[in-house]
Amino acid sequence: MQFQQKAGVRRGGQHPTKYIFVTGGVVSSIGKGLAAASLGALLETRGLRVSMTKMDPYINVDPGTMSPFQHGEVFVTDDGAETDLDLGHYQRFTRANLAKRNSFTTGQVYDTVINRERRGDYLGGTVQVIPHITDQIKANIVHSSEGADVSIVEVGGTIGDIESLPFLEAIRQFRNDVGKENSLFIHVTLVPYIRAAGELKTKPTQHSVKELRSIGIQPDILICRADQPMSQDVREKISLFCNLDRECVFEALDVDNIYKMPIIYHEQGLDARIAEHLGIWTAQPNLEEWNRIIERLEKPRHSLRVGVVGKYLGVRDSYKSLYEALTHGGIANEASIEIVGLDSEQISAANASETLGDFDAIIVPGGFGDRGVLGKMSAIQFARENKVPFLGICLGMQLSCLEYARNVLKIADANSEEFDPQSRNKVIHLMESQQNVERKGGSMRLGAYDCIVRRTTNAYTAYAADRISERHRHRYEFNPEFRSRFEDSGFLVSGESPDGTLAEMMELSGHPWFMGCQFHPELKSRPTQPHPLFRELISAAVKRKQLRD
């Protein structure tokens, strides 16, 4: 199928979708994702329906097969897509509906086109990057934007990379297809401060824009990440060399709190400028909700330290959603949270109380493989025995079952099939649906599943609902053969799949807050709606701290 020019874009109708394309220049990790998400938040405060999409230039079909060391966290959508962590920013800042269609890679686009070619859809033709790959990219953009007033599309990678060229060519064509009044190019760049010269340097930005223009894209708006406030002179220089109005050069200084960004952008007039360019007429934004969040973050009544016992600690982005969800739990409880990453390989039964004694709550997050699991189990034992509020997520829940089986139920060789396939006591075993899986990509138990919450448990106190839905990403599960032994001694299944076969939440009775969940609650937490499990974990930590002080 060729991209139908203007098809899917309600041009000329009453209410066409407007497209904002966000690119990044000079260096990677410049914060395009956050900029795009903040912009989405800001446009929503004007009452607009926003969709958010990430296009990634790598060849992997999705990031599910990449290590967190390589790519940071994998974000999972309700419909089971394993996506880029920028979708996590979109989730936290906006109400956009995120699904498979909102994240795609070069690998996925080629996969679709090659499958079509094999089927014979292009018989007689030579299949080429232009138009076939670019048409497919444009079709994906239209599909991901359905129903939105404004569609924000972020292009992964940095201008100048070979890999992102087809995406840039596609968005260049897109503007021709939908018209200038329906599309906007935002380029996020760096304006570094050079200490020896004592000034901000605009040259890298000039070069990046030059590169963009050489492929036919003139940015309409620049968002400049700067170490220092930009003077009028600097703005004028950028405006002159990059060929855009001074009012279109925006500044993004480092912030101590990312949730300030929508307001900072608004104060500089970014939303007004965008609305003007795209001909969108809306009321002034209502920033009340964002102001409230900031006030709570800036005036905490409590301060807590939370230990996260993991292994992907060198890369902060590996636990991105988790760290944010903890902050949200703090917002709900007027607490500031100091998050301390602890290397599980450095923790043992012998040093647990020394290493973990100062924390108000302990978390063991998700993970794969057996490296560091003994350290994680020592941390879990410490939290269980000392009544420290604890949350075990996915692998964290599985390890809390192993720790309990070994140390309380005295099943000395209790293990997970993941670590020892020959174990005689597989307290955690491979799910039936996973037994014949041969292809590793996209084959875990992924996405949203319903869970029935048991009344009179801490889980029920948190959710106040009988049926909930949470997102999963795992292959192994609690082995129901052991369920009665666990429950008889006080480790309860407090949430289960609707057919009663899978343990989705497990908690210890007689402990103020010791919760394991097989799903990833951090993926659904928002500053505006802190996730119940994080809210209650932090609430338990606040109570404990007050008693101790």
In angstroms, give the least distance from the CB of 151 to ligand GLN. 31
Residue 316: CA count within 13 A, CB half-sphere: 5
Q: Where are the alpha helices (DSSP H) in 120-269?
A: 134-144, 165-178, 203-214, 232-242, 261-268
Which residue in 156, 367, 392, 527 binds ligand GLN (CB under 6 A)?
A: 367
- Contact window for ligand GLN (CB under 6 A) among 50-58, 117-125, 364-372, 507-515: 364-372
Q: Is 85 in the site for ligand GLN (CB under 6 A)?
A: no
Q: How far is the CB of 173 from ligand GLN (least distance, A)?
A: 39
Identify the helix (H) or strand (E) that includes residue 303: strand 302-310
Task: Point out the residue whose Cβ comes nearest to ligand GLN.
Answer: 366
Query: What is the nearest approach in angstroms of ligand GLN to the Cβ of residue 381?
Result: 19
Instruction: Indicate which residue of 44, 417, 504, 522 is catalytic.
Output: 522
Q: How far is the C-alpha of 50 from the C-alpha of 221, rounded, in Å?
A: 19
The reply to whether 531 belongs to the active site is no
Do the strands 445-453 and 491-496 form a parallel or antiparallel pair, or are they unpaired?
Answer: antiparallel
Closer to ligand GLN by Cβ: residue 32 or 474: 474
Candidates 87-95, 112-120, 174-182, 468-476: pick the segment binding ligand GLN (CB under 6 A).
468-476
- Looking at residues 472 to 531 of the shown chain, list those that interact with ligand GLN (rule: CB under 6 A): 473-476
Distance (Å, whole) CA 396 – CA 391: 8
By C-alpha distance, which of 323, 360, 366, 324 is closest to 341?
Answer: 323
Percent of residues in the chain assigned helix, strand, coil, to nearest 5: 40, 20, 35
Taking CB under 6 A as the binding criterion, the range among 144-152, 174-182, 322-330, 366-374 that sits at the site for ligand GLN is 366-374
Shortest Å distance, C-beta 509 to ligand GLN? 24
Q: Is 372 in the site for ligand GLN (CB under 6 A)?
A: no
Is 68 a residue that touches ligand GLN (CB under 6 A)? no
Q: How many other CB atoms are there within 10 angstroms of residue 244's CB atom?
A: 18
* Of 30 and 444, CB closest to ligand GLN: 444
Taking CB under 6 A as the binding criterion, the range among 271-279, 363-371, 506-514, 536-544 that sits at the site for ligand GLN is: 363-371
266 included as an active-site residue: no
The Cα–Cα gap between 282 and 285 comes to 8
Cα atoms in the 13 Å half-sphere on the side-chain side of 350: 2
Number of shown-chain residues binding ligand GLN (CB under 6 A): 10
Pick between residue 239 and residue 434 the one whose CB is nearest to ligand GLN.
Answer: 434
Residues 411-440: x/- map of binding to ligand GLN (CB under 6 A)? Answer: -------x----------------------
Choose the stretch contacting ligand GLN; rule: CB under 6 A; options: 92-100, 148-156, 279-287, 361-369.
361-369
First to last CA, the chain: 67
Q: How far apart are CA 524 and CA 78, in angstroms?
A: 10
In whole angstroms, give the CA distance from residue 39 to residue 177: 24
Cβ nearer to ligand GLN, comparing 93 with 534? 534
- Binds ligand GLN (CB under 6 A): choice among 368, 374, 407, 461: 368
Q: What is the dihedral of CA 490, 494, 498, 500, to 10 degrees?
A: -10
Residue 241 makes contact with ligand GLN by CB under 6 A: no
Q: For the chain, what's the residue count?
A: 549
Q: Does 395 bind ligand GLN (CB under 6 A)?
A: yes
Closest approach of ligand GLN to the CB of residue 474, in Å: 3
Q: How far is the CB of 368 from ligand GLN (least distance, A)?
A: 4
Tell me if residue 520 is catalytic. Answer: yes
On the CB side of 488, how many CA atoms lie within 13 Å of its CA?
A: 6
406 belongs to the binding site for ligand GLN (CB under 6 A): no
Separation of CA 491 from chain center = 31
DSSP 129: I
CB-nearer residue toward ligand GLN: 426 or 475: 475
Which position among 242, 248, 394, 401 bears the catalytic label?
Answer: 394
Contacts for 105 with CB less than 8 Å, ≥ 6 apart: 55, 56, 57, 58, 59, 60, 61, 62, 63
Q: Angle at the Cα of 258 (from 67 to 241), degrees rounded to 5?
A: 95
Of 71, 266, 328, 520, the catalytic one is 520
Give catalytic residues, as residue numbers.
394, 520, 522
Could you list the residues that contact ligand GLN (CB under 6 A)? 366-368, 394-395, 418, 473-476
